[in-house]
Structure 1
């Protein structure tokens, strides 16, 4: 899995140190992944910020609690199926992502039917990307 093709667009800053430490741990394990923090505001403003930050060669994946959740193995296969495409995972602010962003995304992904703050969603997403990488490589991190 080419990790340099993955970017996380997130609305708001990561303020809690314990979450930042976890994010930093996974970023060390996943060299090449970048996180772009965007300014929060109204849902419409956040939508504009995400669309402006999105590169034309990136496939948008919207994180939303309404999507059908995937197992870790299904998530790994989905990333594999997207091939060499550059991926941009979008995590919204307190009000989530707009309908327009969800409809324009190539994939809507749910980490859980529960709602998480954007900071925790980043950490969970990074852990699942790491898990997907080990699944695809046949490593021991993921257990049945």
Structure 2
């Protein structure tokens, strides 16, 4: 299985970039990982921005990829449950699993309809920049759990 992580907007903070690089490298020990950024929409109405950003995200998705959206209203999973979620997709024959982090406008309904799942990392609100590192860390943690490694305590 290949893993793809998509998000809206450029990574601005150097410490966030370092975190992304750290966890992306760790994840790549388990499977191929591709990270893509979609251009952020600024200065427009909310619905128009959401539609444009989601259209850009959709262009980055291969046709057969299973899409998982990160949204504050999504399912809340523990780390072992998230690990099992990844494992089910991997073991269920998914050739590619794609996680998407939306922009400030959220996700358009068309992208929500395509999604195989919607998850929340926390009921708390985090910046879109920090969520990138948190997501990658949880994906890495998930693979350590799947492989019975000592990272998860």
Structure 2 segments unaligned to the other structure (5+ residues): 42-48
**What is the distance in 2 between the residues matched to 1:113 and 1:97?**
17
Partner residue of 1:109 out of 110, 119, 135: 119
SS at 1:66's partner residue?
strand
**Matched residue SS, 1:141:** coil
Q: Is 1:7 paired with 2:4?
A: yes
Are residue 130 (structure 1) and residue 140 (structure 2) matched? Answer: yes
Tell me: CA distance 1:124–1:68, structure 2 relative to 1, closer, same or farther (3 Å): same
How big is each residue's C-alpha offset from its partner over 1:53-78, in whole Å with a ceiling of 9 and x where there is no partner?
A: 11011001011000121000000101
- In the aligned structure 2, how far is the partner of 1:121 from the partner of 1:137? 24
List alignment gaps of at least 5 residues for structure 1. Answer: none
Q: TM-score, normalised by structure 1?
A: 0.92
Alignment partner of 2:15: what SS? helix
Residue 21 of structure 1 is matched in structure 2 by: 18
1:10-61 Cα distance to aligned partner (Å, 9 max, x none): 1000010111111111111122211101101111101111111110110010
**Which residue in the other structure is 2:40 paired with?**
40
Q: CA RMSD in A?
A: 1.2
Q: Which is worse superposed, 101-110 or 123-132?
A: 101-110
Deviation at 1:124, TM superposition (A): 0.5
Query: Where is the strand percentage greater, Structure 1 or Structure 2?
Result: 2
| SS of alignment partner, residue 7 of structure 1 | strand
Separation in 2 of the partners of 1:61 and 1:138?
A: 24
Residue-pair matches, total:
140
Given the two structures, how large is their TM-score scaled by the length of structure 2?
0.87
